[in-house]
Chain A
């Protein structure tokens, strides 16, 4: 194929043209003309770019921007209304447990990490037990028995200026070390 041309192409002349309508100066003699091969590469490149862009747009198209589902975010009411321990107040409606510790709040998605059943909180045994395949979890969500492969997911939880807890079930974390900090933990000094 042709060597790269050292001279700029006429229409990429860095100097501003004196007038828009002025004809471009004829190319200097030693310039190698753009060969058919160069042009073809550009053509193929643009076609490939077109396909790639279409494919990317097609992929993006498949992600709906609005869905007719309940919002993943919800207001769990005033933080002050929770006692220390596990609250099942939002279990039926939002599938979330609100857990208050002496230093603050975290919320856990009530979905077993094995195959998505809803575990039950057993206050006397201080653990969550899944009815489907018998997974058991600690108060913090760690697996202590059964087939579940990983800890329960904690959701993002924030303390709004009004004192309400805002839970976002779309943003999840379950790794020790990460899940104990914001945004998966809302500090709340016990009054």
Chain B
């Protein structure tokens, strides 16, 4: 090839590569969603205009619809400075952007077009989006503008979006009185079960409780490096192995907590005396198997409660809701003995009503050896 041809070819290639790069950047994942929303909203308005009898109003609606169709696409974000949130979720979830959809209501049923449910409730009114953003409650990666990244279903994002009832864990972050709150019933149930089954006997929360195992006051901040992928490979949820090695959609903290309640914990955390999979040597889990005592809903409730226990997020004082300390009942005799037994979590190892003897006694002993060999 002559240099003249090479000159032309290389310049053509440079231009082509630039166009390719720019096109890739220009065709961002969020754009079709936003565009689709404006179309759907405009269609809706035109339908209303057609049904409208007052001509002036119909013309107004039509003009509004035209404007909607022509809205330039942009990255929208809610800046909640107090809470350190910069949430671009509304870039795709346009129905939840109060500047585009002032009523915050629409008739769409599909994500990401659908509006936020229950916007009229006191719950949402007390937590305006402009002040709280999205991720304060829902978690996920607010800065991201791609579907998987934004929901936190990617490697290296440690707080994926909370699904289903686990979102109630977020109430726990600020509301010390969450046990009495409407809308936080599952988290409240979780706390109740946590204490009922004696988890506090071994796991302290903010210094209250036993020191046998790790403190759970900041369990929601547990870094992923501290949970070996090796352990996730041993987890079964609903009897099934978790898919997708590092995909945080599955390998996440909620599943880690849940796994301790719906598996034999010794299977989740087997013996690792030489720290082959963990950052430090880990003895086999001494946690009793709670599958007999705890229903699936119960495990879910405890998971929800624990996913709100964080210390990482710096929440301004004025966002906190304090609660009065509950008074301890004054009992005597056997009733008091039962109260003390339950308060200090003796039932964690010895079972409800002390019917289980000494569960998982000396886990590193003989029985564990056989267990390891079985694996």
**So, do A and B actually touch in the complex, CB under 8 Å?**
yes
- Chain B residues near A120: list those with CB within 8 A: 280-281
Tell me if B274 is interfacial: C-beta within 8 Å of chain A: yes
CB-nearest residue of chain B relative to A132? Answer: B275
CA distance A134 to B275 in the complex (A): 9
Q: Per-position contact with A for B277-314: 1 when CB-CB < 8 Å, else 0?
A: 00111000000000000000000000000000000000
Tell me if A156 is interfacial: C-beta within 8 Å of chain B: no
Q: A134 contacts B280, CB within 8 Å?
A: no
Interface size class of B (residues with CB under 8 A): under 10
CB-nearest residue of chain A relative to B272? Answer: A131
Q: Which of B274, B279, B280, B281 has the most CB of A within 10 A?
A: B280
CA distance A120 to B275 in the complex (A): 11
CB-nearest residue of chain B relative to A131? Answer: B275
- Chain B residues near A131: list those with CB within 8 A: 274-275, 279-281
CA distance A131 to B278 in the complex (A): 9
CA distance A132 to B276 in the complex (A): 9
Q: Which of A118, A129, A131, A132 has the most CB of B within 10 A?
A: A131
Q: Which of B248-290 contact A (CB under 8 A)?
A: 274-275, 279-281
CA distance A157 to B280 in the complex (A): 28
- Chain B residues near A132: list those with CB within 8 A: 275
CB-nearest residue of chain B relative to A129? Answer: B281
CA distance A26 to B280 in the complex (A): 85
CA distance A131 to B281 in the complex (A): 6
CA distance A132 to B280 in the complex (A): 8
Q: B281 contacts A134, CB within 8 Å?
A: no
Q: Which of A111-170 contact B (CB under 8 A)?
A: 118, 120, 129, 131-132, 134
Q: How far is the CB of B276 from chain A (nearest CB, A)?
A: 10
Q: How far is the CB of B216 from chain A (nearest CB, A)?
A: 16
Q: How far is the CB of A50 from chain B (nearest CB, A)?
A: 49
Q: How far is the CB of A121 from chain B (nearest CB, A)?
A: 12
CB-nearest residue of chain A relative to B279? Answer: A131
- Chain A residues near B274: list those with CB within 8 A: 131, 134
- Chain B residues near A118: list those with CB within 8 A: 280
Known: A131-B275, A132-B275. 9 other contacts (CB 8 A): A118-B280, A120-B280, A120-B281, A129-B281, A131-B274, A131-B279, A131-B280, A131-B281, A134-B274
* 8 closest residue pairs by CB, A with B: A131-B275, A131-B280, A131-B281, A120-B280, A120-B281, A131-B279, A129-B281, A134-B274
Can you name 11 A-B pairs with beta carbons within 8 Å?
A: A118-B280, A120-B280, A120-B281, A129-B281, A131-B274, A131-B275, A131-B279, A131-B280, A131-B281, A132-B275, A134-B274
